[in-house]
Amino acid sequence: METKVITIDHKNIDETVLQEAGRIIKEGGLVAFPTETVYGLGGDALNKESSRKIYEAKGRPSDNPLIVHISNMEDLNSIVEEVPEDVYRLAEAFWPGPLTIIMKKSTLVPKETTGGLDTVAVRMPSHPVALKFIEYAGGYVAAPSANVSGRPSPTRAKYVIEDMSGRIDMILDGDGIDIGLESTIVDMTGEIPMILRPGYITLDMLQKVLGEVSTDKTILDINCKDAPKAPGMRYRHYAPKGQLTIVEGDVAKTIDKINELTMQAHIKGKKVGIIGTEETRKQYVGDSVKSVGKRSDEESIARTLYAILREFDDEGVTVIYSESFSECSMGQAIMNRLLKAAGHQIIYV
Ligand code: TXA
Ligand code: MG
């Protein structure tokens, strides 16, 4: 299949392009599009054949449910059994934006889209291209991150092209992917709202709106053997090709340890990549030392992390060492993704 790649200026949107993209979705095709978190791989959420195609294009297990993206509140009613009062409050506070809300699904949503579950994950993204595209696509766009299953989510169009060329109908290259990590997921079907995936919208922010909120214990305790409640969090995700190890502890000791490990790896003939920060990168000695952002600015780290993991792949790095980061506010989402990328390999200093 030939994949059409179209650049779109999110500050000056060419609506004819989005009309065409919308038509592709309505006809059962697939279109990758930018959102404020990561690129999405979109298909018609109400068409089970489209969902089947999404799983196939990603190489994703079909028991891993998709997020349904909407563009306005009126459209929410028909895909859920009912909209709980608290969901209106969440939407008021965080939609459009990087929050995905799990509710009981209505019969309109096929089980193929929800991985066989009776619940549906819904998000209204804030990216202007995404919102307009969803409208033209008929209102309901199922979209996982636009990467091949197991690879880091794409935050740049070139990585979508790398993973999806030849597999889907169109890629919208749109810029403005400002957050860089996938949305926060909150489950509103239980007695107490529960975070299933940490992201830009933090526990604190949710508690201010909802009162009591819990967090899936598999996120807080990396040794917990229970199955995570979001099926997608079970898989080894976000994996770079090189073997990633996180070094955690005092920053000065971390730098010493990473330099020591790098020397040992060099002796074995490995190509080493290092994930440092603006504050520390000059103190490392690896083949490929990269700054992921400022230690003092978590948002800068979130924005760059996935792109760096992909750059290491491109450079043929075989071993990667990373600093660890504070788990304050967005830091929890950063460490959650980094630990997954590392297959939980961590050295304490
Ligand atoms: O930021 C995002 O959320 C991006 C952009 C494209 O919107 N999308 C994204 O989708 O990250 P995906 O498919 O890569 O991750 C969706 C996660 C998976 O872990 C999946 O298991 C979980 O959401 N999920 C979806 N529906 C669910 C449901 N009904 N119950 C529990 N978890 C669900
Ligand atoms: Mg994903």
String of DSSP letters for 47-64 = -HHHHHHHHHHHT--TTS
Q: What number is the average pLDDT over the span 270-279?
A: 97
- 222 pLDDT band, cuts 50/70/90, is low
Report percent pLDDT > 90 for the chain: 86
Tokens 């043929």 identify what position?
A: 316
Residue 282 C-alpha to ligand 2 middle, in angstroms?
A: 33
- 328 pLDDT band, cuts 50/70/90, is confident
Whether 142 is in the pocket of ligand 1, judged by its Cβ within 6 Å, is no
Residue 255 has pLDDT above 80, yes or no: yes
Q: Name the β-bridge partners of 289.
A: 274
Q: Which of 38, 43, 69, 54 is nearest to 132 (CA)?
A: 69
Q: What number is the average pLDDT over the span 299-304?
A: 96
Residues 70, 93 contacting (CB under 8 angstroms)? no
Phi, psi of 133 (to 5 degrees): -60, -45
Q: Which of 31, 38, 67 to mutate to test the pocket of ligand 1 (most atoms within 8 A of CB)?
A: 67
Judged on CB neighbours under 10 Å (0-12, 13-18, 19+), 13 is middle
Nearest ligand by distance to the CA of 231: 1
Residues 129, 18 contacting (CB under 8 angstroms)? yes
From CA 146, how far away is CA 203, in angstroms rounded? Answer: 26
Residue nearest to atom 7 of ligand 1 (CA): 40
Residues 152, 306 contacting (CB under 8 angstroms)? yes
- Which ligand 1 atom sits nearest the alpha carbon of residue 179? 1
From CA 325, how far away is CA 277, in angstroms rounded? Answer: 10
Where do the domains of the chain lie, and which CATH numbers do they carry? 4-230 (3.90.870.10), 243-348 (3.40.50.11030)
Residue 218 has pLDDT above 90, yes or no: no
pTM for the model? 0.95
How many CB atoms are located within 10 Å of the residue 78 CB? 14
String of DSSP letters for 259-316 = HHHHHHHHHTT--EEEEE-TTTGGG---SEEEE-SBTTBHHHHHHHHHHHHHHHHHHT
Q: What number is the average pLDDT over the span 89-97?
A: 98
First-to-final CA distance of the chain: 50
Tens of pLDDT, residues 165-216 = 999 999 999 988 999 999 999 999 999 999 999 999 999 999 999 999 999 9
